[in-house]
Structures are given as C-alpha cells and as structure tokens.
C-alpha cells in the first residue's frame, strides 16, 4: 500500500493487486474515517477524498495505514443475478482463442464468482473481477462503432455488461435484458463497486 497526496483534498492509495483495492474499499465503506466524503476505486488504486475542515492529511494517512486490505464482505450476502443469452458475435472467436468448446466457455463464464472492482469508461460500466484465466482474451483489434446495451463481454481479466449502446472493443459473448443502468432508479447503477454478481444462461 502506497499513499500519495492528491491535491489538498484527497489521498491516492496505490496497490499491486486489485483484490487489495476491493478489501480497503469494503473496509472504509463499512467504517469510514472521520472527514472522508468519497471513495473512488479503480483497477489498482483507491482515491480517498476528504473534507479538510473535518480532518487532516496526516491523521487520515495514519488511519489508512492501519486498515486491513482483506475483503471481509459477507460472501453469503445477496448478489445480482444476470440472465444471459450466450449468443454473442465473438463467442466462437473467444472459444478458439481459449482452446475450448463454445459450451465450455459458457459453462466457465457462468461458474465464475464475480465482484465489481470499479466503474469507468461510461456511467454504469462495471469492471467485474473473477473471470477464469482461460477466458482472459484480448480486446478486438478494431473496436465496434456501436455495441448494443446489455451486451455481455470479456476483455483481459475482466467481464462486463454494457449499460448503454456505445462504441467498444471488448469481445461480445452474450446479451442480457437486465437493465444495469436506469436513471429512474436510485441509485441508477445496479452494479456498484463491491457488488457480487452471478451470470446464468437463459
């Protein structure tokens, strides 16, 4: 864990492992230090924003250094179940790259135990960790100009659901009708950092 001042109102906590980001985020979310106003997780960093009127940088730094990065989130807690039609245009290509039959790619994708590590790229776009290494495939060499909302995709060590129609270069293996982003919902994002996710075939 490396702590870097980030302006006058934030500390950037840098890690070597994504799991440590999840662990510290869960710890601080359950028991936030006095003065902390926002937590912003990313792939290997956690930005901790604070109110200088309520705490000092040195006090917050001391608190953070004493925190555990082991994720103690209740694994029996409710999870979001995402029903998927595994008929994506890149499914056969992903199977070929993985050296697996299509049916095995589908089975292994469903078997994963996923957690939202962070959100980025677009509102509601959640990066899920827990993808089996055999399914770690590269992005497409040429991104699509339009990926339909609800597309279930893989790229690198992550899997995701596209919340909106947008350009994108991930490999599309399926689609879901579950709205992961809805501005009429509070909060609009169904897949927030720390949320556990399971995929099921329809």
CATH code: domain of residue 161: 2.40.100.10
2-5/114-119 β-pairing? unpaired
- The pLDDT score that the predictor gives to residue 161 is 98
Nearest to 87 by CA among 173, 184, 150, 200: 173
Q: Residues 173, 89: one domain?
A: yes
User: Does residue 74 form part of some domain?
Assistant: no
User: Does residue 111 form part of some domain?
Assistant: yes
User: Does residue 18 form part of some domain?
Assistant: yes
- The pLDDT score that the predictor gives to residue 72 is 62
Q: Residues 174, 125: one domain?
A: yes
- The pLDDT score that the predictor gives to residue 202 is 85
Using pLDDT thresholds of 50, 70 and 90, give the confidence band for residue 168. very high
User: Does residue 191 form part of some domain?
Assistant: yes
- The pLDDT score that the predictor gives to residue 32 is 94
Per the model's pLDDT, the better-predicted residue between 166 and 202 turns out to be: 166
Q: Residues 84, 61: one domain?
A: no
Q: Residues 40, 114: one domain?
A: no
Q: Residues 101, 153: one domain?
A: yes
Domain range for 57 is 2-65
User: Does residue 73 form part of some domain?
Assistant: no
Mark which of 38, 65, 92 sits at the end of a domain: 65
Quote the CA–CA distance of 77 and 67 in Å, as a whole number: 22
Q: Residues 33, 108: one domain?
A: no
- The pLDDT score that the predictor gives to residue 9 is 96
- The pLDDT score that the predictor gives to residue 76 is 53
Q: Residues 27, 51: one domain?
A: yes
- The pLDDT score that the predictor gives to residue 188 is 93
User: Does residue 75 form part of some domain?
Assistant: no
Contact 160, 170 (CB under 8 A): yes
3-12: pLDDT as tens digits: 999 999 999 9
Q: Residues 84, 60: one domain?
A: no
Quote the CA–CA distance of 107 and 117 in Å, as a whole number: 22
Average pLDDT over residues 38-43: 92
Quote the CA–CA distance of 108 and 131 in Å, as a whole number: 9
Number of structural domains in the chain: 2
Average pLDDT over the chain reads: 93
Structure tokens at 182: 């809805």
Strands (E), the chain: 2-5, 10-14, 36-41, 45-50, 80-84, 114-119, 126-129, 144-147, 151-155, 158-161, 166-168, 171-175, 196-201
51-86: pLDDT as tens digits: 999 999 999 999 999 998 887 665 555 689 999 999
Q: How many CA atoms lie within 13 A of 185 on its CB side?
A: 10
């Amino acid at each position: 864990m490396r702590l870097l001042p980030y302006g006058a109102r934030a500390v950037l906590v840098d890690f070597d492992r994504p799991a440590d980001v999840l662990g510290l985020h869960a710890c601080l979310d359950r028991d936030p230090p006095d003065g902390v106003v926002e937590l912003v997780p990313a792939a290997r960093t956690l930005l901790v924003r604070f109110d200088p009127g309520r705490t000092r940088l040195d006090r917050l730094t001391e608190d953070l250094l004493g925190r555990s990065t082991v994720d103690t989130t209740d694994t029996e807690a409710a999870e979001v179940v995402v029903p998927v039609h595994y008929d994506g245009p890149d499914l056969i290509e992903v199977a070929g790259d993985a050296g697996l039959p299509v049916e095995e790619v589908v089975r292994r994708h469903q078997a994963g135990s996923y957690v939202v590590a962070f959100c980025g790229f677009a509102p509601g776009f959640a990066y899920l960790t827990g993808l089996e290494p055999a399914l770690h495939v590269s992005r497409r060499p040429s991104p699509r100009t339009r990926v339909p909302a609800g597309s279930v995709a893989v790229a690198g060590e992550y899997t995701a659901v596209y919340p909106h129609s947008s350009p994108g270069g991930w490999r599309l293996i399926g689609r879901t009708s579950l709205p992961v982003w809805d501005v009429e919902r509070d909060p609009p994002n169904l897949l927030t950092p720390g949320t556990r996710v399971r995929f099921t075939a329809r």
